[in-house]
A and B are shown apart, each in its own frame.
Chain A
């Protein structure tokens, strides 16, 4: 169990430090590549929580899909050749205060409410993929189908929205 603690602290540090780099870095390329480490750290936290399927899904979709999409967005909307990659911030001080208050409130509440809740006795290692698939096909079949329709609509809508209009 002590190795579990060590691994948790290492990956939590990786996640939070790279998350800070994402938020506070002036260069948007640094932010995008630091987001990579944040996603990998979160995937490692999923592994520690025995959610192996979710961890692999996180890496596949976030790193393989969303991050590449964000990088394409950066490349297409900034002048990469010139030094115009720096982006400013607005209202940094009030936002910092609000974010600190939100973090303190949430962390304090969760610590005071859920302190001492350990792993339940019956929760041994078990694979999650089969159980998740069965749940998606039985009790969650309606949200599953709706999600597939949402993905299709989002795909068509994104293609329609991003298309260059020739004559108008």
Chain B
């Protein structure tokens, strides 16, 4: 434990102290990953996974601001609870629609299901 602590003491000069901005940056990168998944993946289930990543990034923001606000109010955490509720509903409905698309078109690739265009 002592060696680990000395190692960490040398290391901590290079890594900055964790503050609000660190959580926000992690959330920003997670959000961009979700955006990339939504934009590029052809499989509809991968698109749903991208949506889940975006919602998780938003939730990190809510809870980080709630923690670092002046009087540690809980409004951000309540908002995060509602986001989780809506994510559950969205996943259920989205999966049902994807299953229906698969039964009708025998594919779940979002770029092949384009019969509304014709």
Chain B residues engaging chain A, CB cutoff 8 angstroms: 8-9, 12, 15, 17-37, 39-43, 45-46, 48-50, 52-53, 56, 59-60, 63-64, 66-72, 74-75, 77-78, 80-82, 84-93, 95-100, 102-103, 108-109, 111
Contact = CB atoms under 8 A, between A and B. Distances in A.
Interface of A: 1-2, 4-6, 8-9, 12, 15-16, 19-20, 22-23, 28, 31-32, 35, 38-39, 42, 45-46, 49-51, 53-54, 57-58, 61-62, 65-66, 69-70, 72-74, 76-78, 87-92, 95-96, 98-100, 102-103, 106-107, 110-111, 114-120, 122-123, 126, 128, 131-132, 135-136, 140, 143, 147, 150-151, 154-155, 157-159, 161-162, 164
Enumerate the 5 nearest inter-chain pairs by beta-carbon distance, A residue then B residue, closest first: A103-B32, A106-B28, A110-B24, A154-B89, A95-B39
B24 A6 contact: no
A111 B27 CA distance: 12
A103 B28 contact: yes
